[in-house]
Structure 1
Amino acid sequence: MRCPRSPGFTLIELMIVVAVIVILGTVAVPSYNEYIRAVHRADARAGLLQAQQWLERAATANGTYPTELPADLTWAHDSSKRYTIDFLSTSGHDDDTYTLIATRRGSQFGDRCGDFTLTHTGERSGANVASSTTAAECWGR
């Protein structure tokens, strides 16, 4: 005589479902993390471009580039503080050149794209970029 089968899941079925969820999680979580880092990189690039526009407007009005960025210059997603934007005069006290650097902070520190740089000539490059990544890839070209 056969025992009637009760409704429900067997342990094997439950273990298969758990294994599928774990496999999907190991694929999805790194992809999501890279997506979030890419969004933060876009924010840093936007901040650099905004600072560059401010410098160009100031140079147009005054004839030379300012020697520093204003303290109240912020960009749209500056509140996250995942990048800081620094201003460097590339030739000491020369007021006709500059380099802007977006330096990684916090959760972005291990990012493969490193730090972004933007010069007065519009040259876009990166510092501390992973060997498998080019600056052009990070700048979205």
Structure 2
Amino acid sequence: MKKNTGFTLIELMITVAIVAILAAIAYPSYISYIVRSNRAAAEGYMLEVSGLQQRYLLDARAYAPDLTTLNTTAPANVAPNYAVATAPSPAASAPGFTVTATPINAQLTRDTACGTLTVDQAGTKTASGTGSKCW
């Protein structure tokens, strides 16, 4: 008697179903990881800009009006996902600055829990969204 080798259609369909279930679970988790990774990169750059602002204050006795004055641009892993800007506080108040990272492109639609991130001269970190673990 000859032994058949190969797969039956039922075995193949069960395998496809298992792969589909695993993909349905893994993909949202992967996207969540990517969003958190992009946010962490933006936060790191924002803290770097904050440090540059503090050094600029020591030299110029005022905060820089923009990133160009600080001689910095957003790194390649931040620029496609966040628009980062810095601005000094109004002259009427005490000297200060705010660094803002506004999500753009896919990050804008995927990271609605945190939204726009900000940090100021005192190190106060805020997020415009309702998420509790944004920083």
How high is the TM-score relative to the length of structure 1? Answer: 0.82
Look up the SS of the partner of 2:126 in the other structure. Answer: strand
Match of 1:51 in 2: 49
Match of 1:119 in 2: 120
Match of 1:67 in 2: 65
* Percent identity between the two aligned chains: 30
**In 2: Cα distance, 1:10 partner to 1:115 partner:** 53
Match of 1:9 in 2: 7
Shift in Å, 1:4: 5.2
Runs of 4+ in 1 over 3 A off after TM superposition: 75-80, 92-95
Alignment of 1:1-141 (within 5 A): 6-70=4-68, 72-78=71-77, 80-92=79-91, 94=93, 96-110=95-109, 111=111, 112-127=113-128, 129=129, 131=130, 133-134=131-132, 137-139=133-135
C-alpha RMSD of the superposition: 2.1
**Cα 1:79/1:115, change in 2 over 3 Å:** closer
Are the aligned partners of 2:89 and 2:95 in contact in 1 as well (CA < 8 Å)?
A: no
Q: Which has the higher contact order (CA 8 A, sep 6+)?
A: 2
**Cα 1:81/1:47, change in 2 over 3 Å:** same
How high is the TM-score relative to the length of structure 2? Answer: 0.85
Length, aligned pairs only: 132
